[in-house]
Every structure is written in structure tokens, then in C-alpha cells.
Structure 1
């Protein structure tokens, strides 16, 4: 069983693939990527969605991360407030936002989204830190100017052992107002040889919601709130404990997301309308800020620049979790289904043709198989999250490996030889990055989706499904 989809498009996937044009030029991309991410500090990201404060007078506010003092500042909910979600911090004059608690694990890299409020003039602000529980503060990094009405991201390298407190100061002194949202804090792992910061265990995972992953009856995201997919699932992931149920969030991939957070990782959605970029410092959700990009059954084609971004992200060390569905599964009736979309990315990109060494076959199978690669050392099949002995497809495609390529098939159809065809999931590498591909969306479906969607519990239907997805996630993030 699986999601029902809308009436089928009239175009064949073969015709669609034949009509795709090659790219003539490639946009500028980064030549290297620091994929290692420090672990998120407890209580962060801080999305300013918890608590309320409607006046500018100084007062304490209980946010998800802890208690803060807002001085000449409030939590803004107006349409003119630049924000992700329903509210953000708004500061005027020489106002401040100050932590009333210590980050005992210190602070590594700190990022903060910022913008000017409505039609107000541009303003300046700074990040200050305290290492003595707020008795005194010192400035970190450069003064930042907020000149646009859309949120931009500022980044600061704090690199201080705990205890650490943060303070955001508006410094221009004018009555113009500034908005702040989505504060992230990475713990500080200390310095190693050569003065570099060694990576901690936690990594950042980005789940795509920008390519119609909720079209039709699909629900392939971490969380849906009021019909919209937020960047940060709500409630805040800082509230997740070892006993938190997957129903903490509402979408078909919530079990997967909650499980990653329990392992110490951080998860986000890439909302509809947000660009997929690599090397764009003005995009707070640029792929260079993440270790793994998860795309579950895309239903619209990637643009030329998006294909370049994704393939280059992998080439420079990123992890790509590719999920397809069966042939002729076009949920939004635009003429393209996920096998065609993935094949287009691999055949028509400006970086390298066939970068991963396989293609998605235009097939539709339903079966439970135990035809698993016999390798006790393969960490995707036998990793920290358990052993994989079988896989169930409820209408999925298959994979064909290019002879001699770097792709490693892991599971095949029941009656198939363990060769280059009839593959149901596989790993591959490209450059310094890693790829995992599975060609049915049902195994990741946790059976609890948005109101009105019909979903099925593939995540728990077969005992191997959760270990397979989690082991693959950790392997992509180079955590095992």
C-alpha cells in the first residue's frame, strides 16, 4: 500500500527525458566545502516562536532556548515583521536581546537572520558575548548592517568554551526597527592540532520541500503547519527527548526527523519557493550549510542551476539521499514523475554526466525481498541503527547500475541475480561526497500525515525500514 496519486499525465517518461536540453554553461560554484558541522547547542535553533511580548519596555521572556531579557524590544507578529513562522524579535533605538542562561558547552559558530522592519530605515547591530554569566560582555565579529526587508543571515565565529552568554545589540541608536529570527548556536569542540576545530558528532540535515513533495496525496516532509511547510518544524526540536513520539511533528517523514534529532543531529525543511543553491552566501539555506540533502520523490524538474548546485554539493563532500517512486507517478500532472526528474538531473547537468553511476529504470514493482548483499562490513546494511534483512516496495521503480561504475547495489528484487539490474537501493560516491538511492517512497512513510492525506505505516511495516534509512543517513553524514 502507498499514497494514492492524482490522475496520470498523458506524457510518457521516455518522451519527457528525450526532450530535456543539455546545459551550455555552469554558474560559479565553490571549490571546496566544509561539510563537518558542530553539534547544535541544547535549545537551538531559537525560532522566537515560543512566548509573547507585545511592548518595548524591558522584561524577561521565556523562549524555547531559555529565558531572555528584551530591552526596547518585543516579539513582533505584524505583517511588516520579517520572520519565519508567526513571529520574530523586533528591536528599536539601542535595544538589546540578552540571554539569562549560560551555554555550558560553549559556542562555536553562531548565525542569526536579520532584516529591517517594514519601511523603516536600515540599521546596524552587533553580537556580544559574556564568559562570566553576564557580568560583562565583549564584541564578536564585525558590525552588521540590516538594509533589506527579507531575512539575511549573519555568521559569527565565537569559538569560546563555556560558560557563554549571547547579547544582540542594536547600535545605530535610531527609532528605526530591526527584526531578528532563527538564531543557531553550535557547541564549541575546542581546538586540535594546527589550531583547527575538530568536528563534533551532530550534523545538519536539509529535507527538500521545494519540488512539490506535498503534491496530490504526498506528504514527504518533516512537518506541515496549517498547510504550509516551515523551515524549522514546530514545536522546536530542542524539546525532543529520548521518549518523544514521532507525532511531535505532523508529516509522513516525522519519524525519520525525530529519530535524527534523538541521535544529536539537526533537521530543517527547505520550504516551497526557496532556491536550491550551493555557494550563495546570501541564502541562509544554501547547501554548503548542511551535511546531507534529503529529497523524497520530487515532482517538479530541478532547474539548471539547481542541478549544478546538487551535483557540486556532492562532489565537494556533501551527502545526497535520493528517493524515487515508480514509473508514471506524476502527482501534480506537470508531465514529469520522480524517475524522470532524477534521470534528468543525472544526464543533463553541467558538472558531469552520469555522476553517480546508475539510472532509475522506468518500472513499477511491488514485493518484499530478502535478496540483500551479503556483507557484514557494510554499515548501511549493518550499522549502528540495526541490521537490514529485507525491504518492501509498495509500487516502486528499480535501479540500473552502469557497468564498472562506483555504485554499490545493496538490495535486489527477490528473483534477480545480484548484478547491475533490478536493484532496489544502492550507495555511490562522487568526488568526496556520498549518495544513497532507494526507488520507493513507501518505506520512509510513517503513516501520520497532514489532515486529509491518506498515508501508510511503511516506516514500521518492515523492521528493516527504519534501520536502513537511519544507517544510510549517518553514512551520508560521515558519522559511521
Structure 2
């Protein structure tokens, strides 16, 4: 969040004179809307290589959870040197490959693959290939990927092939260096949602939480505030938004974000105070099953046990969760809990799974502009349809610590940090068939508008990468890229 001023009490503010001037850069242009339907996971996926046994590199067929695969110069590894999230993962050497022996009858939309180099081996390259004729011929999908770390990273590919499709992973450098593959997800192309629902005629449905004191203190971390009240639907109506509509159409810190999503053909809503966070409750019109992505910017009250179960079930069944935290000691409603503590409580104190996303939020407070960005040309959050991400500015934010061996993929680190397990500024992960993105400062999303009397800052335009980062992450969570 921008500066500690947000937490200064009103009497103290009267005695403080603050002058701030931030250079504003042009808002990145918004790409035209695309019409893609790819919600449901293909049957048997994600593939985690937890079933089946193959201990030799000799070419052979093994039956996995998703179906039968041919492993050429590849085996299923379960040593401490194998990068994996469960008990084993695929290990490939030389010019080996992993090939499906079955077709995906519902086509293939977005495919993600967890990958890492094995043990002390050097980096290696690999590619995803797809076949529409039962494996008679294949075509390369996307760019060649380099695996350079010993912890799993996630590569994302937009296949978008209807009809019957089968996939193949090919190690391409021909060296004896070995690679690990794990957590392969495949979204059907044109399927029906099984978890994160909410497909509309023009796009996906995004729900912005306002039920956990997101407007407490000197902040309005919602789409729109009118007279201090947050309604389900921002006003004026979203139907009035055109390509030239300004973000001032709505008034709150996240109005730019919401307007940009609507311009792409999506729909947005607030979840007002007093509305329950549920999953699978048909009596609740704002049940999470009706949405593709749930965005929570700086919650300031704890989630209840039932709410934590609802959120995690939503993600596990295919939904997208956009988590935004702030720095340590950022309790805006003075209830003893700030957003880092609240997010950590969700991940560590729930009835479903401890550490479901493979990271925690460190109790830190940093301010810096970092260009220490993951070098990955295939990462659609860093290089997606809404632009490239080259920098991230924190103005009093926390950091993230990744659990070794987890599915979490750090994207940006503090400028002076090695690209390791700590000092992370934003991260992606998966849980079940759903996706998660976490950033630990609210400043980059702040568009500089809010309720009268609030002190706000134009973080959305302050750094040219901020809008592309949030928009690319939103579309990735919605499985639109």
C-alpha cells in the first residue's frame, strides 16, 4: 500500500502536512476482447504422475491417472533430487519424450506444465507438441522452454484446438541433462465449467470482495463506492462503458481495473458487506460457483471457517483467486489482524489442506522498484495479451516465501535478491484445477480515486508494468490466456 499515511489516525493527520508527487506514465492500451470458452479440466487432469511405476529409461507405456502414456528415454522418479509436488514426477533425458496414447475428446484450451532441471544437472530445453489426428503428426505449440531451476516452475501454453487432441512433451537439446515434469493441467476447449463458473456471453465474471473491511480506514479496495456504501453492481451501469470510457466512470481504488475488465467483454461485481462467501449454495446469488475469479484486495477481518472452506473449494474445483496483501502492521480497522495475518490464516488454518498454495506471506515491509523479473518468454502473466511486465514498484509491501518443492512459481523478486525461495513480490500457484495469483502490496492496483477525504495514489499508472501485470494475471486466472 502507498505509504504509511493510510494508517495514520485522523487527529494525527490534522497535524501532518504531506506533499507527494508521482510521475504518471500513460495507461497501457487494452487489447480487443477475445471470445474463448475453456473452463472445464479435461477428464483425468491435472496429471501429477502419482500412479503407475516405471523405473527404467527404456521406452515403455505406463498407465497414469489421466490415461496411458508412452515414456521414451523417461521414467517416473521419486528420489530427493526429483523436483515434484507429491511422491514422484516424470524424469526425461537425452531427446526423450512423454506422449499421450489417448485423445482428449473435448479439445485442449490452456495447458500448463510444471518443469525443473533434475538435481545438479545443467539447464535443458523442451517443447509442447499437439496432434489432431491421433498422433500421426504433431505441431509445435508456443515457444521452446528452458528449465533452469531445481524447483518446479509453471509454463503455460494456449493450444485452443477443438475436436480430438493428444499432447506430447519433447526434450529438445539432446544432452544427458535431465528434466522433471509434473502437474500437467489441460482445460477443455469449449467445455462447461466444473468449479469456477460464471461465463457470460461476452467473457467471464469477476467478483471483487467488499465483505472483509476493504473500505476501512483510508482506503477503498473495491470497484465503486457511493456515499460510503458499496453495492453489488457499480454505478453507473457497466453497460455504459465503451472503449473510450475513463476509469473515473466509477469511484474507488480498483475502478481502473474493473473498467479495463469490462472493456474486454467481462462482467464485474462487488461482494458487499454482510454477504456471505459461499460455494455450492444455490440460495446465494453471489455464490462463488457463479464466478470465474474472486479478487480480494487487503482483507481486514479474518475469514470464518466456512468461508475458508468455500474459497479453497472454489479454487480446487477450477476457480481463480487473486490475493492482494499489504505490509506487516497494516491493520486498518484495529481489530488486531492485518492482511498478511489473514491470508496466512487462510492457508495454514483450514479444514481442507495446510499450505494449499505452497507459499506464505512474510511479515515484512519493503519499498522499492524492482526489475528482478523471471526470465520466461512463455509466461503469460509477464508477457500476455495486455502487455509486458518489466518492473514492479512496492510502496510499503510485504514479501512472499515459497515452500521448497511446491507448485508455486515466483515471478518477481526484490531487486538485490537471488531468484530463490524468499524476497518474492508476486507469485502464481495452482490448487486442484484452479489457479492463484498473489501480490503483497496494494499500491500497484490503486488508481488514485476514492471516497472524499481519502488520500489515494495513482499506482495503476505510476509504473507502466502495473496495469499489464494485474490484467494478465486476471485473464490467466480466468483461463482466458
Question: TM-score, normalising length from structure 1?
Answer: 0.61
Answer whether contact 1:35 1:288 (CA < 8 A) is retained.
no
The answer on 1:418 being equivalent to 2:432 is no
Q: Which structure 2 residue ranges, 5 or more long, are not aligned?
A: 10-36, 41-188, 193-198
What is the 5 A alignment of 1:440-479? 440-479=441-480
Q: What is the CA–CA distance in structure 2 between the aligned matches of 1:424 and 1:285, rounded to whole Å?
A: 31
Q: Secondary structure at the match of 1:475?
A: helix
Q: Secondary structure at the match of 1:285?
A: coil
Determine the structure 2 residue equivalent to 1:212: 213
Q: What is the CA–CA distance in structure 1 between the aligned matches of 2:190 and 2:415, rounded to whole Å?
A: 49
Determine the structure 1 residue equivalent to 2:351: 350
Going from structure 1 to structure 2, the CA distance change for 1:367 and 1:211 (only over 3 Å counts) comes to same
Determine the structure 1 residue equivalent to 2:29: none
What is the 5 A alignment of 1:269-308? 269-308=270-309
User: Displacement, 1:448?
Assistant: 1.0
Q: Secondary structure at the match of 1:405?
A: coil
Determine the structure 2 residue equivalent to 1:341: 342
Q: Secondary structure at the match of 2:418?
A: coil
Q: What is the CA–CA distance in structure 2 between the aligned matches of 1:217 and 1:356, rounded to whole Å?
A: 30
Measured against aligned partners, the alpha-carbon deviations of 1:69-99 in whole angstroms (never above 9, x if no partner) come to xxxxxxxxxxxxxxxxxxxxxxxxxxxxxxx
User: Displacement, 1:35?
Assistant: 8.9
Q: What is the CA–CA distance in structure 2 between the aligned matches of 1:275 and 1:199, rounded to whole Å?
A: 22
Determine the structure 2 residue equivalent to 1:436: 437
Runs of 4+ with >6 A deviation: 191-194
User: Displacement, 1:201?
Assistant: 5.5
Q: What is the CA–CA distance in structure 2 between the aligned matches of 1:418 and 1:278, rounded to whole Å?
A: 36
Determine the structure 2 residue equivalent to 1:159: none
Determine the structure 2 residue equivalent to 1:105: none
Answer whether contact 2:38 2:480 (CA < 8 A) is retained.
no
The answer on 1:235 being equivalent to 2:236 is yes
Answer whether contact 1:35 1:317 (CA < 8 A) is retained.
no
Determine the structure 2 residue equivalent to 1:18: none
Q: What is the CA–CA distance in structure 1 between the aligned matches of 2:453 and 2:337, rounded to whole Å?
A: 24
Q: What is the CA–CA distance in structure 1 between the aligned matches of 2:456 and 2:417, rounded to whole Å?
A: 29
Q: Secondary structure at the match of 1:400?
A: strand
Q: Which structure 1 residue ranges, 5 or more long, are not aligned?
A: 9-33, 38-190
Answer whether contact 2:4 2:396 (CA < 8 A) is retained.
no
Q: What is the CA–CA distance in structure 1 between the aligned matches of 2:308 and 2:212, rounded to whole Å?
A: 13
Answer whether contact 2:279 2:288 (CA < 8 A) is retained.
yes
Measured against aligned partners, the alpha-carbon deviations of 1:174-232 in whole angstroms (never above 9, x if no partner) come to xxxxxxxxxxxxxxxxx9899xxx98660000000000000000110000011100100
Determine the structure 2 residue equivalent to 1:390: 391
Answer whether contact 2:358 2:408 (CA < 8 A) is retained.
yes
Determine the structure 1 residue equivalent to 2:381: 380
Q: What is the CA–CA distance in structure 1 between the aligned matches of 2:210 and 2:8, rounded to whole Å?
A: 22
Q: What is the CA–CA distance in structure 1 between the aligned matches of 2:473 and 2:275, rounded to whole Å?
A: 26
User: Displacement, 1:318?
Assistant: 0.2
Determine the structure 2 residue equivalent to 1:362: 363
User: Displacement, 1:286?
Assistant: 0.3
Determine the structure 1 residue equivalent to 2:404: 403
Q: Secondary structure at the match of 2:373?
A: coil
Aligned-residue CA RMSD in angstroms? 2.3
Determine the structure 2 residue equivalent to 1:153: none
Question: TM-score, normalising length from structure 2?
Answer: 0.60
User: Displacement, 1:477?
Assistant: 0.1
User: Displacement, 1:322?
Assistant: 0.1
Going from structure 1 to structure 2, the CA distance change for 1:306 and 1:382 (only over 3 Å counts) comes to same
Answer whether contact 2:308 2:346 (CA < 8 A) is retained.
yes
Q: What is the CA–CA distance in structure 2 between the aligned matches of 1:193 and 1:210, rounded to whole Å?
A: 31
Q: Secondary structure at the match of 2:6?
A: coil
Q: Secondary structure at the match of 1:343?
A: helix
